[in-house]
Amino acid sequence: MIKGGIDTALRAGDAERSLIKYPALILLGAALQGFFRYCWRINIHGFSRRCEADLRDRVFSHLQKLPLSYFQYAKTGDLMSRLTNDIHAVRELMGFGSLAIVDAVVVIVFSLTLMITINPWLAFWSMLAMPLIPIVVRFFGRQIFRWSRDTQAQLSDMSAYVLENLSGIRVVQAYAQEQNQIRGFDAISSEYRRKSMWLTTLWGIFWPLMQVMAGLAATVVLWLGGRQVLQGTMTLGEYVAFTGYLGMLTWPLMAIGYTANQYQRGTAALSRIAEVLDTPISPRYRALPASNGSPPIRGAVEFRNLTFVYAGADAPALKNINLQIPAGTVCAIVGETGSGKSTLVNLLLRLYEPEDRTIFVDGVDIKQLPRRRLEDAIGYVSQDIFLFFGSVRDNILLGAENGETDRVDEAARIAQLLPAIELFGAGFDTVIGERGMRLSGGQKQRTALARAIIKKPPIVILDDAFSSVDAETEDEILRELKQFTQGRTTLLISHRLSTVRDADRIVYLRAGELIEQGTHTELIARRGAYYELYRRQNLAREVESMARAEGRP
């Protein structure tokens, strides 16, 4: 059209008319092209965005179900970058990548054909410099990608550092680590600056280089084509159109080089994502044949020849444990730190996978028990408490089905949380900060206890749940709890023997082995490990009360 416009304008008499006609045609052509591009861009982008969201949801829900042993070795920052950066790279490939390549091929074929039709000889010469473009783009693209990935990684390191620092700000301040932390941050931050600067330099070289190459082809055309125009073997219109088509080629050629990199990046990202998705989910999430109409769980727990070794550990954490806990009774578990108490209950919860036929609930191997049935049957207060950002009420309700909101009060009362809640400005709606930052250690434990209580489960597991409350509050909680645990199987782990002395049965673990079991009186009469511990704790208490009686601290 440009060619037609110029040539007619130069030749014919009705120049005025064609000066309006051709620009109008050009405008129409551009508008049509724009419209079609818009339509299929929206389509492709919409499609790739949907795929991206879908993939992200799949990876996240898969992560929820991976065995805990996986997270022991995986790095949080790395997993987060797979969820964000890698999925982003895959989308780029599907969206922009596929778009660009189709776009490029159409434009290249179209322009080249027209250029060859206009002047094959000129087309040949001008094309000599062009293949360099994708090659240079690919080379620089690779460098740029490498550095931008490094910069990105540095950025995640930086956020991980800040995250850890803020979560541990108490320890930082208490141990006067501020200066060390600032220095550490400064090192990461400067490294980030260095990498970003290098990235900027690369871009800085890349663009002018592209311009030089595009200019090279233009120079060839100007030189050879200009001569032809002067000799009259080529019309001016042809010449202008030719340079127009040449100009249109620069972008698609760059896009080809760029897409080649994107392809590499996208497939690498895809393989990192596939690695997560290919990790088998924890066996607890595997579907079991539906067992309709099974009776409610009563709560008899049995450990049978249970031996357990953590993945990667040399020695077993538990050795040949045999223990029967009748439904509705309280079994206390005591023992030195690291003796395997938490491991025992974690296995009952299937947080880690026990061997087949080693743990039974109501006589059924827990590995044959549908996951929901087991989860619903157990109320659990873990040793290290995790609270979510939100209100006290939301955190307590985590353990409850819908419609149990009215029982929050009762659960909080049993857990002795009410006095604390009255102190909070907004009562149950008080937002407790990330990880329950605004609560004291004992308040956190009592919130977690309320969370377990509101479920009204047949089995209750309290793993050192009173370690942060004072002896008096503990007595009160135990008194209230006694009514609650009536008829529920309770596994009570504690370091304080005063907590466990009323239990129906007390078991003593040492280095993963169950070495004594019986009631408090029986174990005292045995004069074994439990007796020793009791004597030591009693002695300590007596010394304490004597000191108090004498008015010393």
Per CB under 6 A, does 310 bind ligand ATP?
A: yes
- Work out which of 259, 342, 346, 489 binds Mg ion, going by CB under 5 A: 342
The one segment of 69-77, 183-191, 273-281, 380-388 that binds Mg ion by CB under 5 A: 380-388
Contact 357, 304 (CB under 8 A): yes
CA dist list (Å): 271 to 77, 222, 267, 281, 282 = 18, 48, 6, 18, 21
Q: How far is the CB of 341 from Mg ion (least distance, A)?
A: 5
- Work out which of 340, 379, 436, 442 binds ligand ATP, going by CB under 6 A: 340
The one segment of 102-110, 200-208, 375-383, 541-549 that binds Mg ion by CB under 5 A: 375-383
- Work out which of 154, 196, 383, 537 binds Mg ion, going by CB under 5 A: 383
Per CB under 6 A, does 343 bind ligand ATP?
A: yes
Q: Which does 55 bind (CB under 5 to 8 A by kind): ligand ATP, Mg ion, none?
A: none
Rounded to 10 deg, the angle between the 132-167 and 178-231 helix axes is 160
Contact 301, 459 (CB under 8 A): yes
Per CB under 5 A, does 467 bind Mg ion?
A: no
End-to-end CA distance of the chain: 100
Tokens of 400: 């409850």
Residue number, 68 or 212, with CB nearest to Mg ion: 68
The amino acid present at 273, given as its one-letter code, is: I
Q: How far is the CB of 313 from ligand ATP (least distance, A)?
A: 5
Q: Which does 299 bind (CB under 5 to 8 A by kind): Mg ion, ligand ATP, none?
A: none
Per CB under 6 A, does 537 bind ligand ATP?
A: no
The one segment of 104-112, 188-196, 251-259, 330-338 that binds ligand ATP by CB under 6 A: 330-338
CA dist list (Å): 97 to 45, 74, 133, 255 = 10, 31, 17, 9
- Work out which of 144, 317, 417, 454 binds ligand ATP, going by CB under 6 A: 317
Q: How far is the CB of 502 from Mg ion (least distance, A)?
A: 21
Q: How many helices (H) and strands (E) does the chain have?
A: 21, 10
- The Cα 84–Cα 22 span in angstroms is 49
Q: How far is the CB of 383 from Mg ion (least distance, A)?
A: 5
- The Cα 515–Cα 530 span in angstroms is 10
Residues in region 351-410 near ligand ATP by CB under 6 A? 383
The number of residues that bind Mg ion (CB under 5 A) is 2
Q: Which does 443 bind (CB under 5 to 8 A by kind): Mg ion, ligand ATP, none?
A: none
Give the number of other Cβ atoms within 10 Å of residue 367's Cβ: 19
**Quick one: three-class SS letters along 338-389?**
CCCHHHHHHHHCCCCCCCCCCEEECCEEHHHCCHHHHHHHEEEECCCCCCCC
User: Strands (DSSP E) along 265-406, which ranges?
Assistant: 301-308, 318-325, 330-335, 359-361, 364-365, 378-381
Residue number, 142 or 510, with CB nearest to ligand ATP: 510
Tokens of 158: 């930086």
Strand partners, 516: 508
The one segment of 145-153, 323-331, 342-350, 517-525 that binds Mg ion by CB under 5 A: 342-350
Tokens of 310: 């953590």
Per CB under 5 A, does 151 bind Mg ion?
A: no
Q: How far is the CB of 288 from ligand ATP (least distance, A)?
A: 26
Residues in region 60-99 near ligand ATP by CB under 6 A? 72
Greatest CA separation for the chain: 125
Q: How far is the CB of 530 from Mg ion (least distance, A)?
A: 18
Contact 371, 282 (CB under 8 A): no
Residue of this chain nearest to Mg ion (CB atom): 342
- Residue 415: name the closest of 373, 465, 369 by CA: 465
Q: Is 33 exposed, middle or buried (0-12, 13-18, 19+ CB in 10 A)?
A: exposed
Residue number, 153 or 511, with CB nearest to ligand ATP: 511
- CA gyration radius for the chain? 36
- Work out which of 338, 433, 441, 487 binds ligand ATP, going by CB under 6 A: 338
Q: How far is the CB of 463 from Mg ion (least distance, A)?
A: 6
- Work out which of 176, 230, 313, 549 binds ligand ATP, going by CB under 6 A: 313
The number of residues that bind ligand ATP (CB under 6 A) is 13
- Work out which of 250, 261, 339, 485 binds ligand ATP, going by CB under 6 A: 339
Residue number, 249 or 507, with CB nearest to ligand ATP: 507
- The Cα 325–Cα 332 span in angstroms is 10
Can you tell me whether residue 216 is helix, strand or coil? helix
Residues that bind ligand ATP (CB under 6 A): 72, 310, 313, 317, 335, 337-343, 383
Residues that bind Mg ion in the complex, under the rule CB under 5 A: 342, 383
